[in-house]
Amino acid sequence: MFKTGPITRVINGLYRNQQILTFYGIRKSESVSRSKYNRIEDDAESVKIQQQTVASPIFFWKDIDIKNLMPACKSCNLRKSNYTIEKF
């Protein structure tokens, strides 16, 4: 569950009535409910914070795309507790 109150207050304080762009790291293949999303959402009924347009750059990626990216991330400064790598 995403609590929008605190982040909405921060966005309003920083940007007032300006439209903002938010990036989500979701993929269509992750769940049935996510498969119904659009890659870019700006409809008031679809976004959780009214000032935002939501873009999901990896929306159409498959599991194999993530698997292929992981070797490149070995040099990234990621703490092991922040991610899970599953065997495919």
pLDDT tens digit string along 7-17?
888 888 998 88
User: How many independent structural domains does the chain possess?
Assistant: 1
Q: What is the pTM of this model?
A: 0.65
The fraction of the chain above a pLDDT of 70, given in percent, is 78
Q: What is the pLDDT of residue 88?
A: 35
Nearest one of 60, 61, 44 to 52, comparing CA atoms: 44
Q: What is the pLDDT of residue 1?
A: 53
For residue 57, tell me if it sits in a domain: yes
Task: Order across the sheet with 52-55: list the strands.
Answer: 20-23, 52-55, 40-41
Residue with the larger pLDDT of the pair 84 and 63? 63
For residue 39, tell me if it sits in a domain: yes
Per the structure, the complete domain to which residue 56 belongs is given by 4-61
In this prediction, residue 77 has a pLDDT band, given cuts at 50, 70 and 90, of low
